[in-house]
Amino acid sequence: MNKEDSQFERMLTNAWVILKYLLFSHIMFKDMEKALFNLWLEWFVGFCDADANFQVFPKKRSYLTKEGILNEYYNIGYGFHIGLSIKDLPLLEKVKTQLNSIGHIYVYSHRDEARWAVTKKTELIYLIETVFEKQPLLTEHQRVRYARLKYGVLNNFNRVETLGEYEKFIHRNYVETNILDNYYTSGTAFDNWILGFVNGEGCFYVHKKGHLVFYIEHTDKQVLELIKTRLSLSPNILDRGNRNSTRKDTYSLTISSKKDILAIRSLCENPLLNKLEGQKLVQYNNWQVNA
């Protein structure tokens, strides 16, 4: 082998080493990207348990028969919505981007609100397959509403002849599976769910006497009990009753002891979990400065 051939062979070897490194780096990047998305997905489902709206609704239609008789029927509409303060518009934009840019964001400046809406059937199926069949909703209310939407969308249940038929559809139970116990104790799923739920329902504030307080209120007592158990929090869950005739009874958890505040901070600042996002992160950062 002459000198030129030897140099050429070394060049090929070096090029192959570089190519393998680039391929390996690309694979590692893709794996990391997927892992980060999965962490975010766990967070997002908790956020949906707090703030999302799974909609199923009738739309009255009518037509005139050849005999001149007016007949009526109802189309069934489906939708998924998240409405937030207009200050959290960037958060809705991030959610939309994370989920393949599906849906549309509407801004209502006059009422300080932004809303992300998904109504196309193909996009609802994407949400079902990408999000809610991968990670479970935990609140009873959202599990029931999601299961109804899923059944209707996947089974093309798009029309009924009477409101009575619609009511039968609405009041059937479509929830198929129970949540396995190990969901609450293994991996990052439940901890990220808590962070997403806190993002929607939690409140961080400083008491007038100067100490830190964390407060969360919801209609699902069992979910608050699960959070309390997971974080080993001390206070009891309080029954707030029905303070508004249009709402269900609510339950609350308030913590202020150093031990419990540390548990919340450890969760929120765990580098292995998805972070709080949007205005809730701003609220948390202002809160923890006083620690």
DSSP state string for 16-74: HHHHHHHHHHHHHHHHHHHHHHHHHHHHHHHHHHHHEEEEEEEEEEEEE-TTS-EEEEE
Which whole-number Å values give the CA distances from 111 to 48, 90, 117, 188, in the listed order?
A: 22, 17, 17, 37
Q: Is the pTM of this model over 0.75?
A: yes
Cα-to-chain-centroid distance, residue 92 = 11
Distance, in Å, from the CA atom of 196 to the CA atom of 139, rounded to the nearest integer, reads: 13
Residue 14: its pLDDT value, please? 62
Token representation of residue 266: 């450890």
Give the residue from 176, 167, 218 showing the smallest Cα distance to 197: 218
What is the per-residue pLDDT for 233? Answer: 95
Structure confidence at residue 209 (pLDDT)? 86
* pLDDT for res 17: 53
Instruction: Return the domain boundaries, the chain.
Output: 46-178, 182-290
Residue 175 burial by CB count (10 A; 0-12/13-18/19+): exposed, middle or buried?
Answer: middle
Cα–Cα distances (Å) from 11 to 18, 20, 22, 143, 169, in that order, read: 10, 14, 16, 60, 69
* Residue pair 261/212 in contact by the 8 Å Cβ criterion: yes
Start-to-end CA span in the chain (Å): 72
Q: Which fold has domain 46-178?
A: Endonuclease I-creI (3.10.28)
- pLDDT attached to residue 27: 47
For residue 200, count other CB atoms closer than 10 A to its CB: 18
Low-confidence ranges of the chain (pLDDT < 50): 8, 22, 26-27, 29
Query: Is 182-290 the same fold as 46-178?
Result: yes
Supply the pLDDT for residue 248.
83
Q: Which of 76, 99, 81 is nearest to 153 (CA)?
A: 76
Cα distance between residue 277 and residue 39, in whole Å: 13
Class of domain 182-290: alpha beta
The pLDDT of residue 70 is 83
pLDDT of residue 6: 61
Q: CA of 89: how far to CAs of 109, 136, 278, 290, in Å?
A: 11, 25, 9, 27
Q: From 54, 128, 55, 51, select the one nearest 85 (Cα to Cα).
A: 51
Predicted confidence at residue 26, as pLDDT, reads 47
Per residue in 86-142, pLDDT (tens digit) is 999 999 999 999 999 999 999 999 999 999 999 999 999 999 999 999 999 999 999
* Coil vs helix vs strand at 124: helix
Q: What pLDDT is stored for residue 180 in this prediction?
A: 84
Report residue 67 as tokens.
């005999």
